[in-house]
Amino acid sequence: MIALLRVDNRLLHGQILEAWVPRLRISRVVVADDEAAASPLAQAAMTLCLPPELKADVLPVGGIDYVALAGAKERVLLLFRDVAALTRALPFGLTPALSREVNLGNIHFAPGRQPVTPSVFLSAEEVALVEHLAKAGFAVAARAVPADPPTGAREIAQKYAEASRKR
């Protein structure tokens, strides 16, 4: 089963391994990222520090059988680099029926992005994608670690608007 969809521009890293994997009892991580899937070096760097019992795959967004992942007996954490990549997975079969919860974990600052939480910065286009995901039936919430209070899609849009007005 897909236990969680997470957007994190760092992809597979310590916060995932130390906080999310144990909390959700994850036994497999699937990184859905075209760039990392095309780079043996990126794959090696991400999987080098994994404990032997944690399986990991790095695959292109369009090369994943999302229905099979959702039907698997193991608990899967599905990682995307950005909101656009997650949105690109929808035509390939990723639906809220397969995994409803979307976690925006870490999206770093870049030009045109505004803070919506201390660890999530979004552009107007990304906020629109978040709203699209919510309308499609995904429960979108921003939080870096499980102990953080979640910031839902509506609040994300409000915080983005407030940050944009302050500029």
Task: Enumerate the H helices of 14-75 as residue ranges.
Answer: 14-15, 21-24, 34-37, 40-47, 66-71
* Overall average pLDDT of the 77-96 stretch: 98
**Residue 66: per-residue pLDDT:** 98
The enclosing domain of 89 has a CATH number of 3.40.35.10
What domain count does the chain have?
A: 1
- pLDDT confidence bin for 22, thresholds 50/70/90: very high
Segment 25-84, tens digit of pLDDT: 999 999 999 999 999 999 999 888 899 999 999 999 999 999 999 999 999 999 999 999
Decide if pLDDT at 154 tops 80.
yes
- pLDDT confidence bin for 129, thresholds 50/70/90: very high
Supply the mean pLDDT for the chain.
96
Closest by CA to 74, choosing from 29, 33, 43, is: 29
Q: Do residues 136 and 96 lie in contact, with contact meaning Cβ atoms separated by under 8 Å?
A: yes
> Can you tell me the distance from the alpha carbon of 120 to that of 142, in angstroms, rounded to the nearest whole number?
7
- pLDDT confidence bin for 166, thresholds 50/70/90: confident
166/7: higher pLDDT: 7
Q: Do residues 105 and 119 lie in contact, with contact meaning Cβ atoms separated by under 8 Å?
A: yes
Domain that holds residue 135: 2-166
